[in-house]
Structure 1
């Protein structure tokens, strides 16, 4: 084996001594790199965990938030219709014909005197009368006291009584006619007799109508008409009374939990 020079031997010894230190440095670098990787992985895992927890908390808290928000939901106040305004609309309907009665009647008249003069001066008349009688309700007679608004669905109404309209002629002159006329040899047709027959026929027709169910039908039809009218205003429970309805208790609006009523807007009456 060749002997080394003293200088070369020293350098070789230094190189041999440096090798352990290089290995230790590499080990330290590896450990540091592994530690950094572990920190990164740990940070990523913690971030995922935090996101999962936040999502779950949000899902649980959402219904609670909804309930809290419901505590502050405003409810629109219900304003009942003004009876005065409603009655004015009803008054505009004025007189409503709700039923009629028709009949045909034969009326006879005889102005023949007794004895022999009857053949000379007498007159007999057979008249076929056709008439129609109308009945109904005069809504212009209603006052504000005849209608009471109980709640948004219920209203009490007192209608004027049904009546036969006397101002409408009951006798139809176009369809009524004299069927037969027999007068004496010395007698001309008496216009007054036919007038009396027509008046008697009309009175008879009105009397027959009054004895029928025309008023009951007129009242029932008026109630049906009023149901449709008030139903168009939003009422579903319409109560008809025989007398002026009593005043209703002040309406108290039911407010669901979690709601509050908005202030009722003030209405300024219109100047006359």
Structure 2
């Protein structure tokens, strides 16, 4: 498939123009014009690049790419090695950040809602933070068990609310600072990937449970599902590679 055609499709499908992001969305490192095999993954680490080379792919499609706002702009050290590996093997690096969190079907947050059997009732349709309800109240321990089992890792539970939960707010990745939005929506529990020191006190004092379910773990599904979509839509060879990350 022609690279430009694929990028145009992805930019439109993910509504990239609707987002003001922390990094460029789309093509970040230019490689082969004719795309035949794509590796998808969460972060364009050296380990994932090496796997892409090993699999003979010409394109790496990720959620976390490069050139983040406020990062050191020089191509040195770790960044130099990564980019050199991509360029020397003529591999495209394509990254989609917030558009892949927010997509209403394939996005990380939409996929988490399906995974946890949550009906999305978010009052602000474009909000990255989502609000939903469980079909019936359940003990917070049981709901934590559902989250842990689905993501195959143990979440960190900061208790602060009632023993039964039904109203759930969530946002994938490093969105712990959006807990106030969950509080304003009167959610019983808020879930994100990471946690900060102050989150403990805020959850306890504001009467809301907080689950830190893992940045990597909560952002695996979006890019994986996007790859499956491309495989079905364009008959491309797409392989998802999960480079484990405990954070």
- TM-score bin (small chain): under 0.3
Larger radius of gyration: 1
More relative contact order in 1 or in 2 (CA 8 Å, sep 6+)?
Answer: 1
Q: TM-score scaled by structure 1?
A: 0.26
Answer 1 or 2: which has greater helix percent. 1
Q: TM-score scaled by structure 2?
A: 0.28
